[in-house]
Structure formats: structure tokens, C-alpha cells
Amino acid sequence: MIKKILIANRGEIAVRIVRACSEMGIKSVAIYTDADRHALHVKKADESYNIGSDPVIGYLNAHNIVNLAVAAGCDALHPGYGFLSENPVLAEICAKRGIKFIGPSPKVIHRMGDKIQARQAMIDAGVPVIPGSEGNLANVKQAIELATGIGYPVMLKATNGGGGRGIRRCNSEEELVKNYDRVVSEATKAFGKPELFMEKCVVNPRHIEVQVIGDSFGSVIHLFERDCSIQRRNQKLIEIAPSPQLTRAQRDYIGKIAVQAARTVGYENAGTVEFLLDQDNQFYFMEMNTRLQVEHTVTETITGIDIVQEQIRIASGLPLQYKQEDVNYRGFAMEFRINAEDPKNDFLPSFGRITRYYAPGGPGVRTDAAMYTGYVIPPYYDSMCAKLTVWALTWEGVVERGKRALNDMVVYGVKTTIPYYQQILQHPDFRSGKFDTSFVEAHPELTNYTVRLPKEQLAAAISAAIAAHVGL
């Protein structure tokens, strides 16, 4: 078994990995920049090392991170999500230095990170793909010709893109011409490569993804699906498992083709196969994420399987503990990404000091957080500061539990998305389980809420304001 893991990440996911290590008797090593010196993952890990004054560069220097892992006596590295998690170079350096990379092979990361290669791999696997370009676009002229053939609207996408970046919808030739150079620029800045490809735009789909896990012995299983349709500008906000919108036949089908896709590319460790489900109930492959997902918590909640511990076991060379027939789910789980943003002000980031923080509790409630009372949320990173996951036996029950837990979760000092989620949970379309990726855009009125604090919370807020004013 692996004995010591360097966590090449920060925030709540680093804390999550530390906890898995602790339960497995494995030593954990955190890294941090000056901006993160008071971060929770630094306090929780067995050891921690400063990687520089720049708030970002240190987390992106693969050579320095692996050198540190070797110097600290680590035998493995977990990349978390974001940063270098889907960078094959990090996995290659780990292999050269004798450090086990907790994730798939560099070859698979590269193949599935390149959207053109991923499309071809899915075609080879017999998985349905969205009509689009068979390779990178050469220029805007070729893009116009292709769009004319497949019909508008179309999506321009960075070949090496991800996380909702490097992607633009084009409803006409005029928009295609206007957006082409913009996406090239975004792709170059965000991913280091200017290559683009095009797909037919699936209008108002449901975003369904399947969690898969494979070991080094050729076994691959799925842990059912997650519904990620509640999103804003291609960024997920609420994730649900299983999807309240699928039939049993659809669930069996999408799980089967996700496993088929993973087997075809020789996938090892945890990954996610993402699909779009159109209005005619046709599934299309979108992409494969070769890492742990933010929303893995809902899958863990309904299946009882600790995905991070399974990742570590697989990287240690052990076989999967489960066969497909051993995996079952129970009830529904819902995850809310608690972002330090102001929904009433176009979701403007709201960084600063947390003057008071109360985590919710009770039956069926889980909180994964990187914040605490007194913590200053730095402005250099993603705005997500916590994840709230709730579970209940029924769809109606999980919606009500979500409302209660969100009401119990109190964050003072910064604006958050908590009150916005409370509005979503009250909307009849969401409550009936009938929603798609257009939900947020179709309901701008949900940001027109008024925050009314219970008396005890109001008293705490006044106390916090006084304390902040006098510098206590």
C-alpha cells in the first residue's frame, strides 16, 4: 500500500484527500503558497510545505511539485481537480521519479484531454457522438462551411478545453465569425494551444455524467449517474445523483456505454464520462474527465463507496473491491457548490474575511469546506469555498432537506450563493424534476430575493459586524 501522499492541490478537495488518507493510515503532505498559509488543508495535513510567494505559479510547476514529493519521502501524488489534475506532463514526471500518480496513465490523460482524439475513441467504442468536425478547424472559412452543412446553432470549442472555458455558442454565421478569434485567444491563454473544433449545438439538453472506476487488471465498473443540468455559463451549480429525469432503461443504457467507453481507452482509476441528453431522449458523448470530480460526493452518498480511497487502492496496485452487481444506490443526493459570489450582482466574486461560519448538520447532511471563522478567502482562486451535500430516500425528501440545510448554513462576511439555491429549490419546475441546462438562464427572476434572517441569526450578524468594526 501507498504510505505517504503529496496532495498537489488546495482548498476543500485537499482537505477531502487528507481525510481519506487519515482513515487509511496514510501520511498526507500539503503544499501552499503565501496566500494559502492559513488555509485549512495546511492545518489538516500531517506535513505542509511552502511553494512560493506567487499565489498560482507554485501549484502549476509540475517539476517542483514532484521534486518536493521525492524530498518529503512520498511514494504517491494525488492531483485533486483543477490545476495540473488533467495534465499528462505531471503524470509523466511522477513516473520518471518513481512517484505513483493517483489517476490514469499519461497516455489516457492526453488522449481524452484532446477532444478530437476523445471523439474518435468514442466512435471506435460505438458511443454516440454529437455531429461535428472530424479534426481541428483550419480557419474560419472552414468553420463557416461546416456550420452551413450541420446547421446552426453550433458550438466552437477548444480542442484541449475544459471546465466550461474555451467554448462559445454561435447562432449564425455572423456570430461564428465574431467568436472564432475570441475562442482561439481563450484556448491559447487557458490551455496553451489555439486549436478549435466544432459540434452541433444540442439545444437545452440535460447534462448527465457517469462515474466510472477501473483497475490495472482490466475491471471497469460504473457508480451510476449524476445530473448536472443546473449550471450557469457552463459552470455547474447543483449536482444530483441519481438523475430524477432518467428511466431505469436509460440509466442501464448510459451506465453500459460509459463502461464501454472506459474499457476502450484502457481507463484506470476514477473518471467521469459526460453526456448530453437531447429533447428526443438521445444521448451524445460530450467529454471524459480523467480526474476526480467536484461532485463525487453525491455518488459516494448514494452508493456508500469512498471514491478517493478507491483511487488510492487502485494506484497501490490493488484490484477493485466491487463487481458491477455489487454496486447499488439508495435514495437521492444533492450537492450545492457554495461559491463566494453575489447572485444579485451578476455573480460577482465576493472575497474577504469570514466573520462567522456555521456548518449545517443533522441526518443526511455532509459539508466539505475550506473555510472557517476568521479565514480570509483570497481573490486568486476559484470562488467555491464549500460544498453542501444532502441525502434523503425520496426526491421530495432531498429537496426539503436541502432547503433546511441551506437555511442552517450561515456564512457572514462575504456574499454567497446560498440564498440563490434556496430560490431554485422552491421553483415548481425544479421540484417536479423537470429541468435542463437552460434553467438558470430561463429564470433570471430567481436572483431577485430578499434575505430575511431569523432573530438569532440577526443577533449574530449584528455581533459580527460590531466585532469587525472594532477589529476584534
Q: Do 167 and 89 lie in a common domain?
A: no
Distance CA 120, CA 103 (A): 22
Is 268 in contact with 241 (CB distance < 8 Å)? no
Give the mean pLDDT of the chain: 94
Q: Do 408 and 273 lie in a common domain?
A: yes
Which active-site residues does the annotation give?
291
Q: Do 279 and 417 lie in a common domain?
A: yes
Q: Do 291 and 185 lie in a common domain?
A: no
Q: Do 57 and 164 lie in a common domain?
A: no
pLDDT (average), residues 367-371: 96
Residue 464 inside a domain? The answer is: no
Number of domains in the chain: 3
Question: Cis peptide before 242, with omega less than 30 degrees from 0?
Answer: yes
Residue 471 inside a domain? The answer is: no
Assess whether pLDDT exceeds 80 at residue 457. no
Last residue of a domain, one of 156, 174, 200: 200
Is 159 in contact with 115 (CB distance < 8 Å)? yes
Q: What is the pLDDT of residues 15-24, one digit of tens each?
A: 999 999 999 9
3-class DSSP state for residue 128?
coil
Q: What are phi and psi of 407, to 5 degrees?
A: -70, -35
Which pLDDT does position 189 carry in this prediction? 86
| Model confidence, pTM | 0.91
Percent of residues in the chain assigned helix, strand, coil, to nearest 5: 40, 25, 35
Residue 217 inside a domain? The answer is: yes
Q: Do 185 and 276 lie in a common domain?
A: no
3-class DSSP state for residue 44?
helix
Assess whether pLDDT exceeds 80 at residue 161. no
Distance CA 391, CA 397 (A): 8
Give the domain extent around 407: 206-455
Kindly provide the b/e burial profile for residues 187-210, where b requires at least 16 CB atoms within 10 angstroms of the residue's own CB.
Answer: beeebebbbbbbbbbbebbbbbbb
CATH number at residue 157: 3.30.1490.20
Which pLDDT does position 298 carry in this prediction? 98
Q: Do 310 and 413 lie in a common domain?
A: yes
| 454 — pLDDT class (breaks 50, 70, 90) | low
Q: Which residues contact 159 (CB under 8 A, 6 or more apart)?
A: 114, 115, 116, 136, 187, 193, 195, 196, 197
* DSSP bridge pairs for 332: 392
Last residue of a domain, one of 141, 176, 200: 200
The grid cell for 136 is 481541428
CATH number at residue 58: 3.40.50.20
Assess whether pLDDT exceeds 70 at residue 158. yes
Residue percentage of the chain with pLDDT more than 70: 96
Q: Do 186 and 310 lie in a common domain?
A: no
246 alpha-carbon distance from chain centroid: 21
